[in-house]
Amino acid sequence: MSEDRTFAAPTVVRLPRYTKADQEEILGTGDDPFGVDSAGLTWLPKDEHFGVRHGGRLVAHTGLLRLPIAIGGAETEVVGVGGVAVAPSVQGQGLARLVVTAALEHARTMGPRHALLFCRPPLVPLYRRLGWHPLDTDVLVEQPEGRLVTMPLRTMVTPLRDDARWPSGPVRLFSLPM
Ligand SMILES: CC(C)(COP(=O)(O)OP(=O)(O)OC[C@H]1O[C@@H](n2cnc3c(N)ncnc32)[C@H](O)[C@@H]1OP(=O)(O)O)[C@@H](O)C(=O)NCCC(=O)NCCS
């Protein structure tokens, strides 16, 4: 006799807000949960947030915001993706894939032709697996007091439309990085 059990598959929900406490619920209260503090950068908060809850606890997040940018001298916008986080106890189970994919589905409705993210070099293979491509050009980003710095992390992009091709040339964000 088979037992009738229903296992709820994890689903992504839109979060009305995403606070420091929410991030700590996912990644804990450690000093440098994204491993990027040594870059010494100031980051932008994201505007739109997607998350996965498990047993009442937030266990995964991805944030989005539109960013003004110049690519090869042409001014346009990209959707910046950031704050990708999965709770250590449930990493390696596809939750980053799930929440990033759902966020990108929404990003396709936002207008820009590409999404862009910054990551530590060890995460390049993971994002490649999710369909992202590393840029081989320097990327300039703004910092407080109008400083312009070369992004020390890797920059990766993915198209948001079938016909989108990343243009060649230098890349300059007209904002803090996200
Ligand atoms: C990075 C992080 C978000 C990954 O979350 P995760 O839930 O473990 O990732 P997933 O299980 O969804 O893996 C995504 C894909 O990458 C693959 N992958 C994971 N590590 C990989 C690696 N080192 N090389 C190649 N592929 C890798 C997985 O196999 C999976 O591919 P598949 O779906 O085709 O099997 C998580 O480790 C985390 O929160 N780290 C701390 C915060 C952080 O550094 N965030 C990144 C900010 S850019």
Name the band, by pLDDT with cuts 50, 70 and 90, for residue 5: low
> What is the tens place of the pLDDT at every residue in 91-103?
999 999 999 999 9
pLDDT at 114: 98
Question: Could you give the domains of the chain?
Answer: 12-26+35-173 (3.40.630.30)
Instruction: Tell me what percent of the residues of the chain surpass a pLDDT of 70.
Output: 96
- The verdict on the CB of residue 126 being under 6 Å from ligand 1 is yes
SS (H, E, C) the chain: CCCCCCCCCCCEEEECCCCHHHHHHHHCCCCCCCCCHHHCCCCCCCCEEEEEEECCEEEEEEEEEEEEEEECCEEEEEEEEEEEEECHHHCCCCHHHHHHHHHHHHHCCCCCCEEEEEECHHHHHHHHHCCCEECCCCEEEEEHHHEEEECCCEEEEEECCCCCCCCCCCEEECCCCC
- How many whole angstroms from 115 Cα to the centroid of ligand 1? 18
Mean pLDDT of 14-36: 97
Instruction: List, in order, residues 6 or more apart from 93 with CB less than 8 Å away.
Output: none
Q: What is the pLDDT, as a whole number, of residue 171?
A: 98
* pLDDT tens-digit series, residues 128-170: 999 999 999 999 999 999 999 999 999 999 999 999 999 999 9
Averaged pLDDT, 102-117 = 98
- CA 78, CA 173: separation in Å to the nearest integer? 9
Asked whether the predicted pLDDT for residue 3 surpasses 80, the reply is no
* Cβ–ligand 1 contact at 129 (below 6 Å): yes
- Find out whether the beta carbon of 85 lies less than 6 Å from any atom of ligand 1: yes
Q: What is the pTM of this model?
A: 0.95
Nearest-angstrom CA–CA distance, 175 and 146:
9
pLDDT digits (tens, 9 = 90+) for 35-87: 999 999 999 999 999 999 998 999 999 999 999 999 999 999 999 999 999 99
What is the distance between the alpha carbons of residues 26 and 176, in angstroms, rounded to a whole number? 24
If one residue of 24, 50, 84, 126 were mutated to test the ligand 1 pocket, choosing by the most ligand atoms within 8 A of its CB, it would be 126
Ligand 1 binding pocket includes 57 (Cβ within 6 Å): no
Is pLDDT larger for residue 91 or for residue 4? 91
Contact indicator for 153, 47 with CB cutoff of 8 Å: no
Does ligand 1 come within 6 angstroms of the Cβ of 132?
Answer: no
Q: What is the pLDDT of residue 7?
A: 63
Q: Is 160 in the pocket of ligand 1 (CB under 6 A)?
A: no
Q: Which of 26, 86, 116, 117 to mutate to test the pocket of ligand 1 (most atoms within 8 A of CB)?
A: 86
Q: Is the Cβ atom of 40 under 6 angstroms away from ligand 1?
A: no
